[in-house]
Amino acid sequence: MYPILLVDAGGCSHEVKVRNAQDFGLKAVMLTENEVIEDYDDLRESEQQLVEDAELGYGINIPYFKIFEDDGKTLRLNVNSGDRYTYMKVDLSLANPDNNVEWELWYSSYMDLTANVLSELGKYQKPFAPYTTFTPRIVTFDCENCPRSVRERDCVSDGKYCPLRPSSDKERLRKGYTGVSSSVAREIDTEIKDHSMHDIVDEIPDSDIIMEALRDKCIYKLVNAHKSSKLLKRFFNYLFIMHGLTSEKAAITEKMVDRAATFAGLQLSEIQECVNNSFVEPGNF
């Protein structure tokens, strides 16, 4: 058995707390969430914190989890009671290893990624595809209880899917270099300097970001149905082309989508049909 840290959120970033726990030899961290969520901005900021801490997590190799305040109080009562032991199991093992690597890409928008990353991921599909299973994961949050004006302006499906905005803070990202080698730090710093998206993300409406994320998922669904590494590469080609067009135009437009889909060898009509079905078929997103 190994010690697990139970700590309240607040005071400093999650990344700092987890890094300190790792330095002390702990094997996992549970963060008790004590924030009061009053409106849409509070909810998005809370969800965004998890994503930003992940961006700063270079060199962290222990897991951490976020739990509700009431659950944290229950755990503390058990630990402090003095008349019982408290055990917690953290299982991160693979249930059925089959010589196939399952990997996922978590992002809120292709604007989170650099053009170089998208290009490299596309190149890797052919040699790695027979031995891997890839799944893109779009990070969203639920705001169905937000005011109607917010749900209609910033979300889709009546507030069920709201986007986490890509970061525009270059200096905050650079703080994540703690613990990495100088060569890795230089490489990441170059990526950030070249990442023109940081300069234009605030000009893209939330509704455009979430709709484009929905198109991304539909494109993946369409190309993955054929189980072909060549076709799967089209998914990354589309993201790469849209990344460049968005950086150039500081917008996401239907004309850009049509152009990127054509260049990537995709049928726009099929993509749009999938997008439309996503609003009536549960679980499609």
Task: Name the residue with higher pLDDT: 187 or 176.
Answer: 187
- Tokens of residue 90, six digits: 């953290």
For the chain, give every residue range classified as CATH 3.50.30.30. Answer: 4-80
Give the integer Cα–Cα distance in Å for 228 and 233: 9
Give the integer Cα–Cα distance in Å for 202 and 200: 6
pLDDT digits (tens, 9 = 90+) for 96-124: 567 788 888 888 888 878 788 888 888 88
Task: Name the residue with higher pLDDT: 181 or 154.
Answer: 154
What's at 206, amino acid-wise?
Answer: D
Q: What is the pLDDT of residue 169?
A: 46
Q: What is the pLDDT of residue 51?
A: 52
Q: What is the pLDDT of residue 57?
A: 56
Q: What is the pLDDT of residue 170?
A: 47
φ, ψ at 75 (rounded to 5°): -60, -45
Measured between alpha carbons, how far is residue 142 from residues 28, 32, 35, 206 in Å? Answer: 27, 20, 17, 14
Q: How confident is the model at residue 198 (pLDDT cuts 50, 70, 90)?
A: low
What's at 126, amino acid-wise?
Answer: K
**Average pLDDT in the 82-92 region?**
74
Residues in the chain: 285
- Mean residue pLDDT of the chain comes to 76
Domain covering 4-80: architecture = 3-Layer(bba) Sandwich (3.50)
Q: What is the pLDDT of residue 256?
A: 92
Q: Is the pLDDT of residue 77 over 70?
A: yes
Q: Are 26 and 3 within 8 A, CB to CB?
A: yes
Q: Is the pLDDT of residue 75 over 80?
A: yes
**Average pLDDT in the 132-137 region?**
85
- Tokens of residue 76, six digits: 């503390």
The residue among 96, 97, 75, 101 whose CA lies nearest residue 86 is 75
> What residue has token string 């890409």?
105
> What residue has token string 């080698």?
181
- Tokens of residue 88, six digits: 């917690």
Residues 6+ positions from 171 with CB-CB distance below 8 Å: none
Task: Name the residue with higher pLDDT: 231 or 7.
Answer: 7
89 conformational bin, left if phi > 0, alpha if psi -120 to 50, beta if neither: beta
Residues 6+ positions from 173 with CB-CB distance below 8 Å: 55, 56, 167, 188, 192
Return the minimum-mean-pLDDT range out of 167-176, 205-214, 219-228. Answer: 167-176
Q: How confident is the model at residue 257 (pLDDT cuts 50, 70, 90)?
A: very high
Give the integer Cα–Cα distance in Å for 221 and 273: 12
